[in-house]
Amino acid sequence: MGFKPEERIGSKGFELVHPDDMKLLADSFHTLSTDINAPVIRGEMHLRHKDGSWRTLEAVGSNLANNNVVEAVIVNYRDITERKRADKALRESEIKYRTLIETTDTGYVIIDQDGLVRDANSEYIRLTGHHALSEIVGRSVMEWTAESEKEKNAEAVNACFDKGYIRNP
C-alpha cells in the first residue's frame, strides 16, 4: 500500500478501508475474533494507497484458536487492482467486438480444425437459412454449402487454418 512498516505499526488500519467495505470488514473481523470454529473468510475490499488512490485487494482471513480461545486473526491480502482493470478492459473489448460483429451485414463464423462451427454472428446464421446459433454450433459448414461451392469452401477452410483467417473467399 506504499507505506513503510514504521508508518503503519501501531495504527488501526481501518482508516485505510473504503467506507463501502467497512461493515463487511468489521463483521468478518468480529466473526474471526470470536468464533473458534469460524470458516476461512474470503472477499474483496478496497484500501487507500499512500498516494491516495484506491487499490482492490483480495483478502483471506482465518483465526488461530487454542483451548477454545481465539489467539490471533490472520489476514492475507493480495493486490488485484491491475487484474481487475485488465478484466474490465477485456470485458469492454469483448462487448465492442461482439457489437461490431453483430451489427455488420457481413456473415462471420468461427470454425474449429474439423470445420465445425464454434461461433457465428446473426448475419451468418441468417445466410445459412437457420434462426439460432444453437442450430448450427458443432455442425460442419459443408452441411449448408451448395454442391457447386463445396470444393471452393473446403479450400477456403484450409486456407483459413493456414493463415488464421480468410476474407471473401
**Band of the pLDDT at 168, cuts 50, 70, 90?**
low
pLDDT in tens, 10-47: 887 788 999 999 999 999 999 999 999 999 999 999 99
**CATH class for the region spanning 5-83:** alpha beta
- Please work out, in degrees rounded to the nearest 5, the angle formed at the alpha carbon of residue 91 by the alpha carbons of 116 and 21: 140
Please give the sequence-ordered ranges of beta strands (E in DSSP) within the chain, or none if there are none.
41-48, 54-66, 69-79, 109-111, 117-120
Looking at the predicted structure, is the pLDDT value of residue 164 above 90?
Answer: no
**Band of the pLDDT at 139, cuts 50, 70, 90?**
very high
Looking at the predicted structure, is the pLDDT value of residue 169 above 70?
Answer: no
